[in-house]
Amino acid sequence: MRAARLLIPLLALLAACSDPATTTQAQPAVGLAQPSKAPPASSTTLKTSYAPVVKRAAPAVVNVASRRVVRQRVDPFWEMFGGGAPRERVAQSLGSGAIVRADGVILTNNHVIEGADEIIVQLADKREFPARVLLADPRSDLAVLKIDAGAERLPVIAIDDQEVLEVGDLVLAIGNPFGVGQTVTTGIISATARSNTGITDYGFFLQTDAAINPGNSGGPLVDMDGDLIGVNTAILSRSGTSSGVGFAVPAAMARQVVNSALGGGHSVVRPWLGVRAQTVTGDMARGLGMNAPRGAIVADLWPNGPAARAGVRQGDVIVAVGGQPVADEGAAAYYFASRRTGEMVPVVVLRDGAERTLTVRAEAPPSTPARDERLIEGGNPLQGLTVANLSPALADELGADPFAGRGVVVMRVQAGFAQQAGFRAGDLVREINGREVRSTADLSAAVAARVRVWRVTIERNGQTISAQFRT
């Protein structure tokens, strides 16, 4: 279960992509032009059955069950006296998925299979197969699995990342809620660009009122062509069951994760705009002479980054990326991150009251400085930390701020002094005994000093914390 702000979202569904040899019903890209859609002509039209859509999509929807062994501490007090040894228990997770390629490639939510020791996929015809993970992407909460069905060509669902979706479009959610078996619910798209939900790092979602409950996680959200248009990831609920507010990762992000997996990648490389932006508020809009707040204002630029080279300036307001209107900084980052590397992307900025279109090359974030990952050992308060040099690429991988400046980021915390002292993964080590730390080499030199009293300064979630230790 995953928290989104003060409400409790139940994790939900998923997306897919078509086998290259499979015909797809995906609509061609239309740019900024909107398709012509008419409301139902009569009440009779509303009574038309969804059965043809279900028959097309449901055979490609699967159940995904995962198991992992968890060591559970019984009583820390008795452990101090040699009793109460840790026990092992089996934690199980049940979700859904979609077959996206006929040779057994399946897309599901990362949280369904995270940390699993065993993954079993059950097809619509009840056959079961063990699955292995091709790629897991926690940042989008998506994962790609593979089962071996021999030479059999399995039914697939096409991923449609080109259709222009509108609020009010009919959708179906297919999955296995509460483990009762395959279930279909219907609803509409309630919103097309929900961000700032706190669900994932790339928090940009389709919103739907189709009923989604525990066990739906990883199942597809489909349109009336039977194509997958989103990956439902969470719902907002006070009761723990569907309250009609569900979120789906858009198909473009799902396709990007699947393509990365099929290309042999172990992680998803997303283009990076190279800007720090802030959503334009009402006060900002009035100060900028805008009729209404829209877009994201550029607060900082990465030197020689993609946006800087294209001519974007500090103070510009990004109002569109790739033909899509930008409502906030989350939308700007998502629209650019979902493009292919090497692609030339039109970015519209508002500058001095006039709109300008700049062309930005989609590039992966730079890996400079080199990661240089190191394990800190010895008699110092950082003993047990694995650290690395912060770069835009590593910041993107960790969901950290690439504009935090040069420094050393904590990757992992193992048993040792640092674990007892409360260091956490993601901390930035800034100073040791008054000496600035700008690289792992600086850090290694600083902890090699023979001193008894250590003063360490770190940055955590934008806050500076200093502490003194004796070793």
Alpha carbon distance 228, 251 (integer Å): 7
Name, in order, each residue with C-beta under 8 angstroms of 55's C-beta and a sequence gap of 6 or more: none
Q: What residue type is 267 in one-letter code?
A: S
Which of these is catalytic: 111, 140, 316, 328?
111
* DSSP 8-state code for residue 416: S
Q: Does residue 111 carry a catalytic annotation?
A: yes
Q: Residue 56 belongs to what H/E stretch?
A: helix 51-57
- The Cα 207–Cα 226 span in angstroms is 18
DSSP-based three-state secondary structure for 46: helix
Asked about 141 being catalytic, the answer comes back as yes
Q: Report the candidate in 238, 240, 221, 239 with the shortest Cα–Cα distance to residue 229.
A: 221
CA atoms of 173 and 246, how far apart (whole Å): 10
Q: What is the DSSP letter of 365?
A: P
Active-site annotation holder among 18, 217, 242, 444: 217
Beta strands in 256-339 (DSSP E): 275-279, 296-301, 317-321, 324-325
Catalytic residue from among 19, 141, 169, 442: 141
- Would you tell me how many other CB atoms lie within 10 Å of the CB of residue 23? 8
Whats the size of the chain, residue-wise?
Answer: 471
Catalytic residues: 111, 141, 217
